Amino acid sequence: MQMQLGRSRAIALLTLATLVLVLAGASAAQPRPIETETLLAADAGTPGSDLRGALRVQLEPGLHMNSQAPLDDFLIPTALRIAPPDGITVTEIAYPEAGLLEQFGADTPLAVFEERFAVGVVFALAGDLPAGQYTVPGSLRYQACDETMCYMPTTAEFEWTVDVVPAGTGVASRHAELFGGISFGSENSVAPPQTRTSDTLAVAASGTSALSADAAEDGTGVTVALGAFDILGTTGGYLDSEDFLSFVSAAESGEAQRGWFEGRGPLAILLLILLGGLALNLTPCVLPMIPINIAIIGAGARAGSRVRGLLLGGAYGAAMAAVYGALGLIVILTAGTFGTINASPWFNLGIAALFVVLALAMFDVLVIDFSRFQSKLKIGNNENGSFMAAFGMGTVAALLAGACVAPVVIQVILFSSDLYATGATVALLLPFCLGIGMALPWPIAGAGLSFLPKPGAWMVHVKHAFGVFILGTAVYYGYVAYGIFENRWVDAGAVASSVEEKLEEGWYASLSEGLEAARAENKLVLVDLWATWCKNCLTMDQTTFKDPTVTAELDAYVKIKFQAEDPSSPPAKDVMDHFDSVGLPTYVILRPADLAAASTTQ
C-alpha cells in the first residue's frame, strides 16, 4: 500500500512537471521582446546645437539581429524609425559594425548585430526652439535569428525625453564611454528622411525586399481598395491539389466552408459537451465516489427530506460546474496570449506529453488518482448537511477528479479557445456545460433517487475508451508540434526564388496593382499571403501550384503574391486583419463587387 501511494505521488509530480513544461515552453513561440534603453550624451540641449542620443539594445543569449543592410535582399533589415516633434530634426543614425553569423543550412553567412549593441542618433535642435521638455518617439523593426532559424519580424517601441534649456546655459555630459564607442559619421551611418510626430513613423533605413511591392503602401489605402471586393473564401496552411481545388470550387459556388457551428447549431454542440460531461460520471474515478460524497455532504438518506437532499446535491454539482466554467473562462478570455502560446511547438509538444501520461493512467500503466482524498474531507458539523459545506466539497471534488476527468477538461478548454478565437462567443459556455453535465446526477442522487448503474467491470471498458481517445489526441498534438518545428527550418532564399518564379509567370507582387487589374478585367482574384520564413509557402509553390490541374483552374484568375513578412506591422497587419488571417500561408479568393452586382441583375 505504501509503495502504491509512493508511486501515485511520483506520477502526480510527473504530471505537474509536464504542465510546467507546457507553460515554460509556451514562451518559445517567439523570443522574448528585446530590452531597449534610450540615452542622451548630455542632460540637456540648447537651441541651435546638436544633441547625440543612443538606443541600447539587449537580446536574449544566443540570438542575433539582422543588420540594417543584410547580405541577402529577402532578409528583414533592422530599421530605426523616429518621428521627432517640430523643431527637432534627426540628421544621422549610426548603426554598429555588423558581424557574420554562420547559420545551419545556409550557404551565405548573415550580417548581424550581436546580443548587446547601441545605435547612435544625432538630434539637431532648431535655433528658435523654445526651452522645455520634448518627447521623441521611435521604434525598431527587427528580425531575430539564431544558428538554426530566423524568427518572425517584430517591432519595439520607445521614446527619448529631450530637455531644452536657453542658449548659453551649461549642460553636463553623460555616458561618455558609451558614446565614445559609437562610430558617428562612418559608412554605417545613414541620413534618415524627415517626418514629424504627427506623421506616420518613417523608416530610417529602408532595406525592403524588391519582392515586397506593397511594403511602402499605406495599410489603410490597401484595405480601402479591398472594400471594393467580396471575400468568397479564405483558407490557410498546406493544401494538396485536391483540397485546394475543393476550396476554389466551394468559393466560386458560394458554398461557405463549414465551421464547427455552421450547419450544426450551437445548441447541438452544447448538447454534445453536456452529454460528454455526463459520461464522465461513469468513469471509475467518479462513479464509486458518488454515494460516498453524498453521505459526506449530508444528502441522500441523511438530508431529512428529498427536497433538502436535492438542493444539497445541486449545490455540490453547481460548485463543480463553476470550477470548470471559471477555469475555461480564464484560458479563453486570454485568447490573444493563448493564441500565441498555442502556436508554439513547445506548447503542443508539452500537451502531447501530458496526454501520453494521462492515457497511460487510463490503461492503468500509471496510477493518478486524487479522488481517494475526497472521503477524508469533511466540511462542517451539520449532520443534515449544509449548503456551504456541499458547495465547498463540490469545489474540492472538481479539483481532485483525477485522470478520468482532466484530459477531457483540457481538451474541451483547448477546443473552446480555438472556437472563441474565430468569433464564436458561445464557446465561452462549453467548459461550463461540461461541468453541468458532470453535475446532473448529484441533485438526483442527493434526493435519494437511485438511477445510476452499479459499479462493475464495464467501467474499465469506459476508462479504456477514454484512454484511446486521449492517446489519439496526444498523437495529434505531437504531429502539430513537429509541423511547427519543420515549418521553421526553411531557406529564406529558396522561398524568395520560388516567389520570383511565380512573378515571372504573371503573378502580381503588388496587391493594389492586382486588385486594379481585376476590377478592370472583371476577374476573380487569388491572394496568396506569404513570408520568407514560411516553409509551407515554399511547399505550396513547389507542389500544389505546379499541378497542371491547379494552374489550369487559376488561369482565369488575377493572382497576387502579398508578402506579409511582419504580420504585426502595416500594411501586412491591416490586410491580415481584413481577411481574419491567423497565420501563413493564407489564401483568399475575392470577387469584384461590381461583377457580383452585374451577375445579380442578369
Question: In this predicted model, what pLDDT tens digit does every residue of 36-90 receive, in sequence order?
Answer: 999 999 999 999 999 999 999 998 888 888 888 888 766 678 889 898 999 999 9
Taking Cα atoms as reference points, which of 322, 320, 324 lies closest to residue 409? Answer: 324
Give me the residues paired with residue 562 across strands: 529
**Maximum distance among all Cα pairs of the chain, rounded to whole angstroms:** 94
pLDDT computed for residue 43 by the predictor: 95
d(CA 593, CA 232): 11
Range of 24-38, 206-220, 421-435 with top mean pLDDT: 421-435
Quick: pLDDT tens for 429-449.
788 888 888 778 777 766 655
Lowest mean pLDDT across 59-63, 92-96, 124-128, 270-274:
270-274
d(CA 208, CA 216): 8
pLDDT computed for residue 7 by the predictor: 43
Rounded average pLDDT over 476-503: 78
pLDDT computed for residue 504 by the predictor: 93
Confirm if 492 and 548 have CB atoms less than 8 A apart: no
Kindly report the three-state secondary structure assignment for every residue of 534-546.
CHHHHHHHHCHHH
pLDDT computed for residue 547 by the predictor: 95
pLDDT computed for residue 395 by the predictor: 73
pLDDT computed for residue 196 by the predictor: 47
The dihedral through the CA atoms of 395, 401, 402, 404 has a sign that is negative
Confirm if 144 and 158 have CB atoms less than 8 A apart: no
Q: Taking each helix axis from N to C terminus, what angle separates 430-439 and 266-279, rounded to the nearest 10 degrees? A: 40
- Annotate 510-534 with DSSP letters as a single string: -HHHHHHHHHHHT--EEEEEE-TT-
pLDDT computed for residue 337 by the predictor: 44
d(CA 307, CA 443): 9
d(CA 438, CA 417): 21
pLDDT computed for residue 455 by the predictor: 55
Kindly report the three-state secondary structure assignment for every residue of 240-306.
CHHHHHHHHHHHHHCCCCCCCCCCCCHHHHHHHHHHHHHHHHHCCCCCCHHHHHHHHCCCHHHHCCH
What is the percent of the chain where pLDDT is above 70? 62
Q: Taking each helix axis from N to C terminus, what angle separates 2-26 and 345-362, rounded to the nearest 10 degrees? A: 160
Q: What is the mean pLDDT of the chain?
A: 74
CB neighbour burial string for 258-284, b if at least 16 within 10 angstroms, e if fewer: eeebeeeebeebbeebbebbbebbbbb
Rounded average pLDDT over 451-478: 68
Whether residue 166 is preceded by a cis peptide bond, meaning omega within 30 degrees of 0, is no
The answer for residues whose C-beta is within 8 angstroms of residue 542's C-beta and 6 or more apart is 498
Report the run of H or E that residue 329 belongs to, with start and end: helix 306-332
The DSSP output letter for 588 is E
For residue 373, what pLDDT band results from cuts at 50, 70 and 90?
very low
The DSSP output letter for 312 is H
For residue 118, what pLDDT band results from cuts at 50, 70 and 90?
very high
Amino acid 2 reads: Q
What is the percent of the chain where pLDDT is above 90? 28
The fold of 220-258+491-601 is Glutaredoxin (3.40.30)
Amino acid 533 reads: W
pLDDT computed for residue 120 by the predictor: 96
Lowest mean pLDDT across 108-112, 199-203, 325-329, 396-400:
199-203
Cell of 491: 531557406
pLDDT computed for residue 96 by the predictor: 94
Taking Cα atoms as reference points, which of 137, 51, 426 lies closest to residue 261? Answer: 426
d(CA 283, CA 407): 13
Enumerate helices (H) and strands (E) in the chain, giving the number of each.
Answer: 20, 16
Cell of 341: 502560446
Lowest mean pLDDT across 54-68, 190-204, 337-351, 353-367:
190-204
CATH code 2.60.40.1250 region(s) in the chain = 32-207
d(CA 586, CA 423): 18
Give me the residues paired with residue 57 across strands: 36, 117
d(CA 561, CA 151): 21
Global pTM? Answer: 0.48
Range of 81-85, 301-305, 525-529 with top mean pLDDT: 525-529
CATH code 3.40.30.10 region(s) in the chain = 220-258+491-601
From first CA to last CA, the distance across the chain in angstroms is: 81
Confirm if 575 and 226 have CB atoms less than 8 A apart: yes
Confirm if 445 and 299 have CB atoms less than 8 A apart: yes
Cell of 288: 464509486
123 backbone dihedrals φ, ψ, rounded to 5° = -100, 125
Q: Which CATH code, of 3.30.70.250, 2.60.40.1250, 3.40.50.300, 3.40.640.10, is assigned to 32-207?
A: 2.60.40.1250
Quick: pLDDT tens for 1-20.
444 444 444 444 444 444 44
Between 122 and 416, residue with greater pLDDT: 122
C-beta neighbour count of 1 within 10 angstroms: 5
589 backbone dihedrals φ, ψ, rounded to 5° = -110, 125
Pairing assessment for the beta strands 558-563 and 525-530 based on DSSP bridges: parallel
Q: Taking each helix axis from N to C terminus, what angle separates 345-362 and 335-342, rounded to the nearest 10 degrees? A: 80
Cell of 405: 476527468
Amino acid 214 reads: D
Helix, strand, or coil here: 323? Answer: helix
